[in-house]
């Protein structure tokens, strides 16, 4: 039997016909209408009864592999206790509670519970009466009480050593839509080695009149590894009707959804693909009617998601109808990027990375929005290089940021998570990889927290540490890098090289001559801020938590900062001049970034371990690609520190032995990226700040988070957690999943080795 599909319409009629059909396409309980596509969108669906080759895509996200981060619904929401599907569900906890262990029952993974109570956070999409049921085996517990937001719903009664499905009564009043917390509290007392119960799944059920036996959509049940129609197999998501899978992503202008739709079993079926967004009605993108039986075939569907570019959307694959026993199949559903590769990047003979300490992006071109005559080099880079407008750091600890830049790993993975930690020798850095490939490498730092005492330097051919107590110019690390490049090229013009410079930037102590100091206003200034001891004075003020800086003090700090940064800028100009004189500039990947914003208030000025706020995490990023690729462009796509690592390694034709994290900045600049796989995550101990587009979720694990929408609330004054539940849960689950996938055991953290000399240097730096 042939599948019947809705053909794509002529663009001029697409919006009208979609809007007319919207009311018929809603399959969400309590949702009465769907919205039309954004203005300017063309018909989104492309389908035909015969399978036709689709253009290849460079970037694919397989939705089957993303199911652990998705909601699965069939006659209510299901919590599958197996396969780590509950990560991010335990009431804002960052880990699975210690009293929950995996056990096997008849080949399935269950959860063995020895916690007195467990709490699960979930989203109810619309107001509805509900009930709670679970498939469980009683052990030491005979029953469990069920509460919704601390209101008792009923009791689940277990049978000792026997599998049964227990259920509470249905509520008489509908539960409100939005975020809820389900609490399961077990009865009984535990003896050594005992547990309360084994649980296969928990269901927040929506009452209906369907007499069919409930089939739980566990991950094992939903994934059909090789579902075949007419001899054509697809790895599929298989859904009973009514049922749905909802996954959240942030598409780019080139992202497309591709899948093949069919029905497994006899009879007919209807499928629908929708987009859900907080505060808006569901939007139906496509509907297809399919017929099953012996001659059932696949219907290929391709939907461009360009109308949602840059927005956080929840993509819903819905089985709206199917014959009893049949299932709607979504075969090999993927989010595909551009079929066109970005322009090739010329291989680099030299990679030079400069990280400026203690700079604020609003003080730098082009973000300052004003001429910066004292920053001639950065002004030139702002117009001739590529600048990235949404670059973000992974921590508010300087050594953690630099460790991420050198290893390509987030702080929980490399374990430099606080100011007292060192980078373990077992961590592979870009310097070690390059050195092993006969590339000359140089590491030059003027920031004490990236000295050898903190684990930095091993694996590089040339290492220079410039302490602030040396009496030498603050530009020494940059100047030394320039001299080393000249010498390396002089020795052998064919040498390839990698240089990393951690420059003082705008951080005190500042070097200011007597004439410059006397020219500063006010002329009779007698406050505590003076160039050599400013870092120590500010450190003492931070420790006392006192706001004692006067307007004159602030003006003095600003002027001294500007003088110091101008010197760093001139040294950068000399470094670029050296590369040009050596004939390397056109074959150099040259990157300038920051490590941590200096902060605008007394309590944060040049401090570390700050709250994970956007002004502190936002960093500058200038990139000169070999051959002036993307010269003069400003890129709005989000980037982060580990992207620099991946770009540098790729430019030298090298690779890590492990799967690389991050994105290649050249591919980002091309605009041909696909779906944004993960948000930008910053961490500091139990604190986190996760940004996805304009949305930022922040807080401390174990506490309900704070959601900010920067588009409407740049200062993050209002918590939008309750009004944007889809985004809140998606961001939190992504945060927890990513953290647990990379986090190293706490025992692997190594303390820094601080001797008397290092302590003295840190004191002058204002770090102790």
> Which DSSP string corresponds to 145-214?
EEEETTEEEEEEE-BBTBEEEEEPPPPSSPBPSEEEEEEEEE-S-PPTT--SEEEEEEEEE------SPP
pTM of this structure: 0.89
The DSSP 8-state label assigned to residue 54 in this structure reads P
What is the SS3 assignment for 128?
strand
The DSSP 8-state label assigned to residue 250 in this structure reads B
The CA distance from 148 to 153, in Å, is 7
CB of 69 closer than 8 Å to CB of 63: no
pLDDT of residue 674: 66
- For domain 4-63+225-336, give the fold: Jelly Rolls (2.60.120)
The CA distance from 458 to 443, in Å, is 9
Q: What's phi and psi for 484, nearest 5 deg?
A: -65, -40
The CA distance from 71 to 81, in Å, is 13
* Residue 751 in tokens: 């303390």
- Which phi-psi region, left, alpha or beta, contains residue 230 (left: φ > 0; alpha: ψ -120 to 50)? left
Query: To 10 degrees, the CA torsion angle through 91, 92, 98, 100?
Result: 40
Per the listing, tokens 């220079």 go with 464
The CA distance from 757 to 509, in Å, is 17
The CA distance from 495 to 276, in Å, is 54
Residue ranges for the chain with pLDDT beneath 50? 1-55
What is the SS3 assignment for 135?
strand
Shortest CA distance to 105 belongs to which of 136, 84, 133? 136
The CA distance from 410 to 413, in Å, is 6
3-state secondary structure 195-247: CCEEEEEEEEECCCCCCCCCCCCCHHHHEEEEEEECCEEEEEEEECCCEEEEE
The CA distance from 476 to 473, in Å, is 6
Q: Do domains 76-205 and 350-765 have the same CATH topology?
A: no
Q: CB-based contacts of 690: which residues, under 8 Å, 6+ apart?
A: 679, 680, 681, 682, 696, 697, 698, 731, 732, 734, 735
DSSP codes of every residue in 686-755: TEEEEEETTEEEEEETTS--EEEETTT-TT--S--TTT-HHHHHHHHHHHHHHHHHHPPPGGG-EE----
Largest CA distance in the chain: 94
CB of 668 closer than 8 Å to CB of 635: yes
The CA distance from 153 to 601, in Å, is 49
Shortest CA distance to 142 belongs to which of 199, 191, 187? 187
**CB atoms near residue 633 (< 10 Å):** 14
Count how many Cα atoms sit within 13 Å of the Cα of residue 228 in the half-sphere of its side chain: 5
- For domain 350-765, give the fold: Alkaline Phosphatase, subunit A (3.40.720)
The CA distance from 431 to 334, in Å, is 36
Count how many Cα atoms sit within 13 Å of the Cα of residue 759 in the half-sphere of its side chain: 4
CB of 404 closer than 8 Å to CB of 682: no
Shortest CA distance to 464 belongs to which of 479, 574, 454? 479
Residue 495's Cα: distance from chain center in Å?
Answer: 37
Query: Domain residues of the chain, as ranges?
Result: 4-63+225-336, 76-205, 350-765
Query: To 10 degrees, the CA torsion angle through 591, 596, 602, 607?
Result: -130
Helix (H) or strand (E) holding 36: none
* Residue 16 in tokens: 């009208």
The CA-atom distances, in angstroms, between 98 and each of 23, 109, 138, 513, 625 are 47, 17, 19, 60, 48
pLDDT of residue 600: 63
The CA distance from 246 to 217, in Å, is 13
Spatial strand order of the sheet with 178-186 comes to 117-124, 178-186, 143-148, 151-157
* Residue 288 in tokens: 């297809």
DSSP β-bridge partners for residue 335: 61, 257
3-state secondary structure 596-618: CCCCCCCCCCCCCCCCCCHHHHE
pLDDT of residue 57: 53
Shortest CA distance to 677 belongs to which of 71, 65, 235? 65
Shortest CA distance to 505 belongs to which of 368, 398, 416? 398
* Residue 38 in tokens: 């954004």
CB of 626 closer than 8 Å to CB of 651: yes
| Integer-rounded Cα radius of gyration of the chain | 29
Shortest CA distance to 257 belongs to which of 240, 243, 271? 271
Q: Is the peptide bond before 522 cis (omega within 30 degrees of 0)?
A: yes
pLDDT digits (tens, 9 = 90+) for 201-251: 999 999 988 878 898 999 889 999 999 999 999 999 999 999 999 999 999
- For domain 76-205, give the fold: Jelly Rolls (2.60.120)
* Residue 7 in tokens: 């053909």
Share in percent of the chain as helix, strand, coil (round to 5): 25, 30, 45
**Strand positions, DSSP E, 84-138:** 100-105, 108-113, 117-124, 131-138
CB of 176 closer than 8 Å to CB of 129: no
């Amino acid at each position: 039997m042939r599948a019947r599909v809705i053909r794509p319409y002529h663009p001029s009629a697409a919006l009208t016909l979609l809007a007319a059909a919207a009311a018929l396409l809603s399959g969400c309980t309590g949702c009465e209408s769907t919205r039309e596509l954004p203005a300017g969108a063309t018909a989104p669906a492309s389908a035909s009864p015969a399978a036709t080759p689709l253009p290849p895509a460079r970037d694919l996200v397989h939705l089957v592999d993303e199911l652990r981060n998705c909601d699965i619904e069939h006659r209510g929401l299901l919590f599958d206790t197996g396969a780590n599907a509950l990560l991010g569900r335990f009431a804002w906890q960052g880990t699975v509670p210690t009293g929950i262990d995996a056990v096997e029952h008849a080949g399935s993974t269950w959860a063995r519970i020895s916690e007195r109570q467990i709490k699960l956070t979930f989203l109810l999409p619309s107001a509805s009466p509900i009930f709670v049921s679970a498939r469980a085996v009683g052990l030491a517990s005979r029953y469990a009480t069920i509460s919704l937001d601390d209101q008792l719903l009923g009791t689940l009664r277990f049978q000792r050593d026997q599998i049964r499905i227990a259920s509470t009564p249905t509520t008489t009043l509908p539960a409100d839509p939005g975020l809820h917390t389900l609490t399961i509290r077990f009865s009984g007392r535990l003896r050594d080695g005992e547990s309360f119960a084994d649980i296969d799944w928990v269901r927040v059920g929506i009452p209906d009149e369907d007499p069919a036996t409930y089939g739980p959509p566990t991950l094992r049940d939903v994934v059909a590894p090789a579902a075949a129609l007419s001899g054509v197999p697809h790895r599929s998501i298989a859904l009973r009707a009514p049922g749905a899978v909802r996954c959240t992503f942030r598409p780019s202008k080139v992202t497309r959804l591709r899948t093949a739709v069919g029905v497994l079993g006899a009879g007919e079926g209807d499928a629908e693909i929708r987009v859900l967004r907080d505060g808006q009605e569901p939007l139906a993108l496509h509907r297809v009617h399919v017929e099953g039986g012996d001659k059932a075939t696949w219907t290929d569907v391709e939907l461009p998601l360009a109308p949602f570019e840059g927005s956080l959307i929840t993509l819903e694959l819905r089985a709206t109808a199917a014959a009893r026993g049949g299932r709607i199949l979504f075969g090999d559903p993927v989010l595909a990027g551009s079929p066109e590769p970005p322009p090739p990047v010329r291989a680099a003979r030299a990679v030079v990375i400069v990280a400026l300490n203690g700079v604020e992006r609003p003080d730098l071109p082009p973000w300052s929005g004003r001429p910066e005559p004292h920053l001639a080099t950065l002004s030139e880079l702002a117009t001739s290089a590529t600048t990235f407008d949404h670059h973000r750091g992974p921590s508010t600890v300087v050594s953690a940021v630099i460790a991420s830049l050198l290893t390509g790993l987030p702080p929980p993975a490399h374990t430099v998570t606080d100011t007292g930690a060192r980078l373990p020798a077992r961590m592979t850095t870009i310097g070690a990889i390059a050195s092993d490939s006969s590339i000359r490498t140089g590491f030059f730092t003027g920031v004490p927290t990236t000295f050898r005492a903190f684990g930095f330097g091993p694996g590089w051919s040339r290492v220079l540490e410039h302490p602030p107590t040396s009496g030498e110019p603050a530009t020494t690390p940059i100047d030394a890098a320039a001299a080393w490049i000249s010498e390396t090229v002089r020795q052998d013009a064919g040498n390839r090289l990698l240089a990393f410079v951690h420059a003082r930037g705008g951080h005190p102590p500042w070097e200011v001559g007597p004439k410059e100091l006397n020219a500063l206003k006010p002329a009779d200034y007698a406050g505590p801020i003076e160039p050599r001891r400013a870092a120590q004075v500010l450190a003492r003020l931070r420790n006392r938590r006192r706001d004692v800086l006067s307007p004159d003090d602030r003006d003095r700090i600003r002027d001294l900062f500007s003088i110091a940064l101008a010197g760093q800028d001139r040294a950068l100009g000399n470094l670029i001049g050296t590369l040009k004189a050596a004939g390397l500039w056109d074959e150099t990947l040259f990157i300038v970034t920051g490590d941590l914003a200096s902060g605008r208030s007394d309590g944060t000025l040049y401090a570390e371990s700050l709250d994970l706020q956007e002004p502190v995490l936002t960093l500058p990023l200038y990139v000169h690609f070999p051959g002036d690729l993307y010269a003069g462009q400003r890129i709005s796509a989000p980037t982060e520190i580990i992207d620099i690592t991946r770009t540098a390694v790729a430019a030298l034709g090298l690779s890590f032995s492990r799967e690389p994290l991050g994105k290649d900045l050249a591919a980002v600049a091309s605009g041909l990226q696909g779906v944004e796989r993960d948000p930008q995550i910053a961490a500091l101990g139990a604190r986190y700040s996760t940004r996805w587009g304009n949305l930022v979720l922040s807080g401390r694990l174990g506490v309900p988070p704070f959601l900010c929408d920067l588009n409407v609330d740049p200062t993050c004054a209002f918590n939008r957690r309750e009004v944007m539940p889809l985004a809140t849960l998606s961001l939190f689950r992504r945060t927890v999943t990513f953290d647990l996938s990379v986090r190293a055991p706490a025992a692997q953290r190594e303390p820094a080795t601080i001797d008397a000399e290092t302590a003295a240097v840190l004191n002058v730096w204002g770090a102790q």
